[in-house]
Amino acid sequence: MRLWKSWIVTKKDLSVFRKNKYVLYSLIAMPIILGVVLPVIFIFALNAQISSVQLTHDQLFAAVNQIVGLATMYFVLIPAILPSIIASYSFVGEKIEKSLEPLLATPTTDGELLLGKSLAAFIPCMAVTYIGAAISAIIIDFWSYTTPQIGTFLIPNPYWLLVIGVIAPLACIMSVEANIIVSSKVNDIRAAQQLGGLIVLPLVFVVIFASTSAQISTLLAIGVSAALAVADIALFYLSKATFQREEILTKWK
């Protein structure tokens, strides 16, 4: 596989995304909501709990770690949801711009083309995920360090590193691959986004389940990572098996 061929496809798609206001607004809104608004809400809730209830040192740290675990797990939503907006546009957008036939006629293999499309969605989604996570970590650490009852930095911890460093990229890969498969099979951007959103719903349910569980543990995060890795491998082989240039050209003419 010639990676430089894939990178050409990636750069072309990234330039298109920069001109799409809908995509840009989505990339800006998600990190602000989860990186700023969510931790501020959690901090207000913790401050209210600290002031209204006399907690022991162990109870306070248990409550704080639970809230930090919640805030961390919700960052999986960014790489899970954003590809339904970006990756679903990959092939349908080419049709809208009338650049589909020249693209499929280029001397690139199916693997190189799919990799280029995948990277074009993966890079911005993970970039805004890490930006949001960094902002959230700064806000939470500033609060925890300046709160006399805590007086220490809470992030990063092993659970945070596992979720942000492993689960989030695996979730993004799964969502990107699923949405690219959908984009190559439909010819309407709204249908691609709706189907892509439905595909990642199980991952959203996993995040909701984890956020409502009594104990958010590293063991749970490892289990989610393993399941996502299996799903990513399966989707990779499925995308290569189902991608047919000739079918796309004849179907969309």
Q: Which of 82-86, 88-92, 175-179 has the lowest mean pLDDT?
A: 88-92
Count of the separate structural domains present in the chain: 1
> Would you put residue 14 in left (φ > 0), alpha (ψ -120 to 50) or beta?
alpha
Which CA distances in Å does 248 have to 175, 242, 253? 21, 11, 8
Model confidence over 221-234: pLDDT tens digits? 788 889 889 988 88
Task: Give the contacts of 126 (CB within 8 A, at least 6 positions apart).
Answer: 79, 168, 169, 172
Model confidence over 150-179: pLDDT tens digits? 888 888 888 889 889 998 999 899 888 888
The parent domain of residue 111 ranges over 3-252
Model confidence over 17-38: pLDDT tens digits? 777 777 788 888 888 888 888 8
Query: CA-CA distance, 34 to 27, in Å (whole number)?
Result: 12
**Confidence bin at 214 (pLDDT 50/70/90):** very low
45 pLDDT above the threshold of 70: yes
With a pLDDT cut of 90, the percent of the chain lying above it is: 11
Say whether 55 sits in a helix, a strand or coil: coil
Answer yes or no: are the C-beta atoms of 213 and 220 closer than 8 Å.
Answer: yes
125 pLDDT above the threshold of 60: yes
